[in-house]
Amino acid sequence: MRQKIIITIAILLTFGWIGILDYEAKKLKEVVTNLNETVTIQNEVLLQHKASIINTKSDIELFIEIVNEFRNFI
C-alpha cells in the first residue's frame, strides 16, 4: 500500500512539473514573439532613418553643386 501511495505521489508530482514547464514554455514563447515584434519595429525605424540620411546627403550634394555653379557664374 505504501508503495502505491509513493508511486501515486511521484506520478502527480511528475504531471505537476510537466504542467509548470508547459506553462513556462508558453510564457517564454510569448516573450520571444514580443521581442521579435520589437526588433522588427526597430529595424523599420532604422530603415526610415537611413532613408532620411540618404535624402539629406542628396540635398547637401545638390546644394554644393548649386554653390559651385554659382561660383563659376561669378
Give the model's pLDDT for residue 64: 94
Cα 74 from Cα 12, distance rounded (Å): 93
Q: Which of the four pLDDT bands, split at 50, 70 and 90, describes residue 16?
A: confident
Q: How far apart are CA 74 and CA 58, in angstroms?
A: 24
Query: What mean pLDDT is predicted for residues 30-41?
Result: 97
Rounded mean pLDDT, 8-29: 92
pLDDT tens, residue by residue, 36-64 = 999 999 999 999 999 999 999 999 999 99
CA distance readout (Å), 34 to 30, 47, 74: 6, 20, 60
